[in-house]
A and B are shown apart, each in its own frame.
Chain A
Amino acid sequence: GQQVMQIPQYQHVQEGEDFTTYCNSSTTLSNIQWYKQRPGGHPVFLIQLVKSGEVKKQKRLTFQFGETKKNSSLHVTATQTTDVGTYFCAGLGSGAGSYQLTFGKGTKLSVIP
Chain B
Amino acid sequence: ETGVTQTPRHLVMGMTNKKSLKCEQHLGHNAMYWYKQSAKKPLELMFVYSLEERVENNSVPSRFSPECPNSSHLFLHLHTLQPEDSALYLCASSQQRAYTDTQYFGPGTRLTVL
Do A and B form a real pair?
Answer: yes
Using a CB–CB cutoff of 8 Å, the interface residues on chain A facing chain B are 4, 33, 35, 41-45, 48, 88, 90, 92, 99-106
- The verdict on B42 contacting chain A, using a C-beta distance below 8 Å, is yes
How many residue pairs link A and B with beta carbons under 8 A? The number is 47
User: Could you say which residues of chain A place their CB within 8 Å of the CB of B90?
Assistant: 42-43
User: Could you say which residues of chain B place their CB within 8 Å of the CB of A106?
Assistant: 42
- Interface CB pairs A-B, < 8 A, 7: A42-B2, A45-B104, A88-B42, A90-B43, A90-B103, A99-B99, A100-B99
Main secondary structure of the interface of B (DSSP, over half): loop
Report Cα–Cα, A92/B1, bound state, in Å: 25
Whether B42 contacts A104 by the Cβ 8 Å rule is yes
Q: A7 to nearest B CB, angstroms?
A: 13
User: Could you say which residues of chain A place their CB within 8 Å of the CB of B100?
Assistant: 92
Main secondary structure of the interface of A (DSSP, over half): strand
Interface size class of B (residues with CB under 8 A): 10 to 19
User: Could you say which residues of chain A place their CB within 8 Å of the CB of B108?
Assistant: 42
Using a CB–CB cutoff of 8 Å, the interface residues on chain B facing chain A are 1-2, 40-43, 45, 56, 90, 99-108
User: Could you say which residues of chain A place their CB within 8 Å of the CB of B103?
Assistant: 33, 35, 43, 45, 90, 101
Whether B45 contacts A42 by the Cβ 8 Å rule is no
Whether A48 contacts B43 by the Cβ 8 Å rule is no
- Of A4, A33, A42, A88, the residue contacting B102 (CB under 8 A) is A33
Report Cα–Cα, A99/B90, bound state, in Å: 20
Given known contacts A42-B2, A42-B106, A103 and B99 CB-to-CB distance under 8 angstroms: no
Whether B101 contacts A42 by the Cβ 8 Å rule is no
Given known contacts A33-B102, A42-B107, A101 and B45 CB-to-CB distance under 8 angstroms: yes
Report Cα–Cα, A113/B26, bound state, in Å: 38
User: Could you say which residues of chain B place their CB within 8 Å of the CB of A41?
Assistant: 107
